[in-house]
Structure 1
Amino acid sequence: MEFMKQDEVERLRRQYPLGTRIKCIHMNDDCHPVPDETLGTVQFVDDAGTIHMGWDNGSSLGLVPNEDQFTKVKRKEMER
């Protein structure tokens, strides 16, 4: 895995601040991936660009941009 540049990490931090809700579309983890369609909450983005999560299923596995597939959950979707 190649490390992100600092400006890319800062962009991720602005895009995914603490409390942002995320839906995992697909995680590329061979051992224990977060199941597809799982919802979670952003805890923080580290200096390598990993998005650390608190998943609703109890997992805390981080998302790796450009490796894992995920989307921000819009407020309207959360109200359904």
Structure 2
Amino acid sequence: MKGAAMFYSRDKVEQLRQRYPEGTRICLDSMENDPRPIPSGTKGTVITVDDAGQLFMKWDNGCSLSLIPGEDRFHVIQPEENLSEEMQETENPSEELEMHMSM
């Protein structure tokens, strides 16, 4: 039965909720079965997982289209990735400051 895979058992939905809790950062790899897909590479934040197992998202580009695990391709952005991006932005100014202070 086509489309039945979009609806999960209560146990599977609970697993999805534990795997993707509110606030989880996601990067979309591809969304091929939507007439107006979110562009690949777009990042967003999980708002909640509904009873059908869809991830309600707040995308960084302002969209709110949900993800369907098993149909859409995406990956979790690890907190270290976010931290390393922030560190790259702040490391250079502090290195310059240290150089000036040692002179």
TM over 0.5, shorter chain: yes
Match of 2:42 in 1: 38
The answer to which of 21-30 and 63-72 deviates more is 21-30
Aligned amino acid, residue 35 of structure 1: P
Q: Answer 1 or 2: which has greater helix percent.
A: 2
User: Structure 2: where are the runs of 5+ without partners?
Assistant: 86-103
Identity of aligned residues (%): 47
Equivalent of residue 53 in structure 2, options 26, 29, 49? 49
Supply the distance in 2 between the matched residues of 1:31 and 1:52 (Cα, whole angstroms).
18
Of structures 1 and 2, the larger Rg is shown by 2
SS at match of 2:41: coil
More strand by share: 1
Structure 2 counterpart of 1:71, which letter?
Answer: H
TM-score by length of 2: 0.75
What is the RMSD of the two structures over their aligned residues, measured on CA atoms? 0.9
The one of the two structures with greater contact order (alpha-carbon pairs below 8 A, sep at least 6) is 1
Return the offset for 1:42.
0.2
Shift >2 Å, 4+ stretches: none
C-alpha distance in 2 between matches for 1:77 and 1:23: 11
Structure 1 stretches of 5 or more lacking a match? none
